[in-house]
A and B are shown apart, each in its own frame.
Chain A
Amino acid sequence: MKAKQRPLSPFMIGPYYRPQLNSIMSITHRATGVFLSVVSAPLLLWWISAVSNGPETYAAFLVFMGGWIGELTLLGCLFSLSFHSLNGVRHLIWDTGRALDLRSADVLGWVVLAGTVVSTAILMGLLL
Chain B
Amino acid sequence: MTLEETQAAFHALATRAADLPAAAESFLVGSPAFPAAERIGIYADMYLWRLTDALREDYPKTAALLGDERLLALAKAYAREHPSDQPDLGHFGRHLPAFLRRLPAPERADLADLADLEWARSEVFFEKPATSIARDALAALGPDAFLDARLELIPALRILVLDHDAATVWRHLEDGDPLESAVVCPTAVAVWRAGFEVFHARIDPDEARAIEIARAGEPLRHVCSTFHDREDPAGAASAVLASWVDEGWIADASSAG
Q: Do A and B come from one complex?
A: no
Binding site for A on B (CB under 8 A): none
